[in-house]
Structure 1
Amino acid sequence: MTSDSAVPARGTTEWHADILGADFEACAFQARDPEGVARTATLVRHVPRGAAGSGPELRPGDAPPADEALHAAPPPFRAVLFLHGWSDYFFNTELAEFWTRSGFHFFALDLHNHGRSLRPDTHGGYVADLADYDAEITAAIGIIGSLRQEGTPLPAVTLMGHSTGGLVAALWASRHPGVASQLILNSPWLEMHGSPAVRRAARTLLGPLARLRPESVIRLPERGFYWRSISSSAEGEWTLNDEFRPPRAFPVRAGWLSAVLDGQARVARGLNLDVPVLVLISGASANGMVWKESMRSTDAVLDVNMIALRSLSLGRTVTLERIDGALHDVFLSAPRVRKDAYTRLARWIRAYALDGGGPR
């Protein structure tokens, strides 16, 4: 499943208190790609300090627990690994609590050049090839596996990704068949706005610059509308670290955008994933260069209709859930909306995670 050089030996991973508080721990590690390039990533885990099997009382609008059937016959070790979007990091404690209450061990990965893994003198959010994330994802799953009891089977891992992290997760799963048991994509960036023709044209125009000067910054209009809709420093309800999640995002660089376009092209050709896939998106998109009130209840980043269409290229078993009133990250939406999203997610878990969904 993983290379020995990428995964720390059992018991050698050093966990420490995380920025999210007492119920979370983090560990930084290095993973080497096939060319020997080492990159630093950070794995976060949820470790509730309350009574075993319990947690704080749910409040109105909190993530509802999955159905009791989720706990009927749990495997020895079932885990979720969450991948954040571009220019982002993991901070959604409510999401972690939902998965823990549902009988899963929850982990999130701050990818290299993001969030907790940012290092001085590096370009925030930059990657020249989305496959460069493969080693750290594989290593993180290896670390998760090392936490199981001696002699027990490897954990069943559900891979979950948001936005660009959703694209990364889908591509990783296609390159590593038989490892992830399920794939859950929250507004994955599978296609550009408008049509595939936009992606093809952008890829053609960007190609020479990406090859010759991949770290060149592309001057694009700055839009902080999504940040405005979620940050408690603006008009949202979520406390964000503006260093880890800048209001106007990291600079867009030619190599990074080219890598995304290449990944989207691969999805368009079809990934033929053999595990169950759940795609959650907003019911509508809102675009434009000026703020609109509709951006409080729509996806202000992606074209959800194109994402819905492109989802059909992912694999053989794809479930699409359109959440009316949802933001770009459906689990950061208004309490009523994300309660709906969690209910749909719990229903899908009952059908596919507990019913033996995934590779045999």
Structure 2
Amino acid sequence: MSAPIGQHWQQLYECEDLLGADFRARTFSFAGPKTQVHTTLIHHIGNPDATNAILYVHGYTDYFFQTGLARHFVDLGYRFYAIDLQGYGRSIRPSTPPNWCESIEQYGQDLDIALATMKQDGVNQVVILGHSTGGLVVSTYLAQPYALPERESHYNKAFPEVVGLMLNSPFLALPFPPKVLNRVSWPIRILVSLLPFSYLRARKINIYSKTLHTVFGGEWDYRLDWKPPRGFDLSFHWLREVIIAQRNLVNQRIRIPTLVCHSAISTIGKRTVEETQQGDGVLDVDSMQQAAKKTFSNLTQVSIAQGFHDLYLSHEPARAAYLSAMSDWLKTLHHAP
């Protein structure tokens, strides 16, 4: 399959996904900044004739494995899709380091492929759901829908209409409280710009991982090679591109209806699993909220008590509150099934 907006990709194969018979996976190949890369579109087979869909975009050191999330939206009448971006999960290849990117904007190619494929499947309207860095990726994409000259003339007919955006603990600001963030953002940006080829080595299992995986007593069983408990080595170049994308978004006004869900508190730096599980152990909620208010002009924010960084992976009843918040918000959109 080739893209109708001047970029080209090829579907390599389609097969039953590793999540089981209810899921299919399609893998695509296309030219990345330095080498050929892959992206993988997963979809639940439910509601094959529905014209409304959810597209899920995962976070950093992450991939799609949340089958219950898919079933939730299928039960609401939507089709459900998720994408493993280039360099993540099902799309990791030996030719590129995991999670590597030249810029946040490059993931627009993955989203173009996903949306064009969904359109070919008969989807006319889509709500995008982005978690953490995935929230930054999709916000950057939607802030520049016509960044490519070729995209403008093809956008409406080649892609479904994106009618809403849901963000799960989006990475819109560095993980510092607002007053601290104002002091440290420029020094950090200067440091990572001066040392773009440096890394912070992943040595210790982080406490957030210990709140999640069954091997540490958590509820979730996922692939530790794709979502390692130590994380992948953190590239200074990647962090610089994140900071640039975050600063660019502050100067945008995204008018699409947007729901931002986040934990009630941040628990960064807590030393025990029990303390970390009381809130978001990865990002600062106050800085996230402030950034969201600057970027989205049609914004609804919902706070989830005792919600983890990935709200869907929280304990009950926080998980149920998160799903309920999305369901209620979707009912306010005219396109809801």
| Alignment TM-score, normalising by the size of structure 2 | 0.88
Residues 297 and 333 in structure 1, CA contact (< 8 A), matched pair in contact too: no
Q: Which of 199, 211, 231 does residue 217 from structure 1 map onto?
A: 199
Corresponding residue number in structure 2 for 1:252: 234
Give a deviation string over 1:246-303, Cα, whole Å, max 9, x none: 011110011111111111111222x211210100000111122632522123111000
Residue 126 of structure 1 corresponds to which residue in structure 2?
A: 100
CA contact under 8 A between 1:17 and 1:26: conserved in structure 2?
yes
Q: Partner of 1:79: helix, strand, or coil?
A: strand
Relative distance call for 1:323 and 1:204 in structure 2 (3 A) is same
Q: Give the C-alpha shift of residue 314 in structure 1.
A: 2.0
Question: How does 1:46-61 map onto structure 2 within 5 Å?
Answer: 46-48=44-46
Q: Deviations over 1:144-189 (max 9, x none)?
A: 11111xxxxx611111110011111110111116752111110001
Task: Determine if the alignment matches structure 1 residue 21 to structure 2 residue 20.
Answer: yes
**Within 1, Cα distance between the matches of 2:227 and 2:334?**
31
Q: 1:304 to 1:175 in 2, by over 3 A?
A: same
* Post-superposition offset of 1:355: 6.7
| Deviation readout 1:93-122 (Å, 9 max, x if unpaired) | 011001111111111000111100011142
Letter in 1 for 2:327: A
The whole-number CA distance in structure 1 between the counterparts of 2:80 and 2:15 is 16
Q: Decide which structure has greater strand share.
A: 2
Pick from 110, 126, 136 the counterpart of residue 167 of structure 1: 136
1:86 and 2:69 correspond: no
The one-letter code sitting in structure 1 at the alignment partner of 2:168 is N
1:200 aligns with 2:195: no
Gaps of 5+ in 2: 147-155
Equivalent residue of 2:188, what SS?
helix
* 1:273 aligns to 2:254 (yes or no): yes
Superposed, 1:285-300 pairs within 5 Å as 285-288=266-269, 290-300=271-281
- Quote the Cα distance in structure 2 between the aligned partners of 1:122 and 1:88: 16
TM-score under structure 1 length normalisation: 0.82
C-alpha separation in 1, matches of 2:200 and 2:286: 26
Contact 2:255 2:297 (C-alpha < 8 Å) held by counterparts: yes
Aligned mate of 2:8, from 6, 23, 47: 6
Instruction: Tell me, yes or no, if the aligned pair for 1:7 and 1:142 is still in contact at 8 Å.
Output: no
Q: What CA distance in whole angstroms lies between the structure 1 residues aligned with 2:129 and 2:138?
A: 7
SS at match of 1:181: strand
The answer to whether the aligner puts 1:41 opposite 2:27 as a matched pair is no
Please tell me whether the aligned partners of residues 31 and 136 of structure 1 are also in contact (alpha carbons under 8 angstroms).
no
| Secondary structure of 2:22 counterpart | strand
1:113 aligns with 2:82: no
CA deviation profile, 1:197-242 (whole Å, cap 9, x unmatched): 22222112211222xx3xx323477451111111111121111100
Task: Report how far residue 353 of structure 1 moved.
Answer: 5.1
- Matches of 2:9 and 2:332, distance apart in 1: 32
Structure 1: which 5+ runs fail to align? 54-74, 149-153
- Rounded Cα–Cα distance in structure 2 between residues aligned with 1:355 and 1:47: 19
User: How far apart, in 2, do the equivalents of 1:355 and 1:108 lie?
Assistant: 19
- CA pair 37-176 structure 1, distance change in 2 beyond 3 A: farther
**Aligned pair partner of 1:232 in 199, 210, 214:** 214
Q: Which residue of 2 aligns with 1:351?
A: 332
Change (3 A) 1:80 1:353: farther
> Residue 199 of structure 2 aligns to a residue in which SS?
coil
**How far, CA to CA, are the matches of 1:355 and 1:19 in structure 2?**
29
**Residues 316-347 of structure 1 deviation map (CA, whole Å, 9 limit, x = unaligned):** 10100000010001111112111111111111
The more displaced of 114-123 and 190-199 is 190-199
Task: State the distance in 2 between where 1:349 and 1:6 align.
Answer: 33
> What code does the residue aligned with 2:162 have?
A
Partners in 1 of 2:334 and 2:236 — Cα distance? Answer: 38
Q: SS of 2:238's equivalent? A: helix
Note closer, same or farther for the CA distance 1:342–1:354 as it changes in structure 2 (3 Å cut).
same
- Alpha-carbon distance, 1:308 to partner: 1.0
- Distance, in Å, in 2 between the alignment partners of 1:144 and 1:355 is 17
Give distance in 1, aligned partners of 2:205 and 2:293: 29
Q: Alignment partner for residue 69 of structure 2, among 84, 88, 95?
A: 95
Question: 1:2–1:159: structure 2 CA closer, same or farther, 3 Å change rule?
Answer: farther
Distance 2:54 2:9 in 1: 18
Aligned residue pairs total 318
**How many angstroms does 1:79 deviate by?**
1.3
| Contact in 1 for aligned 2:173/2:287 (Cα 8 Å) | yes
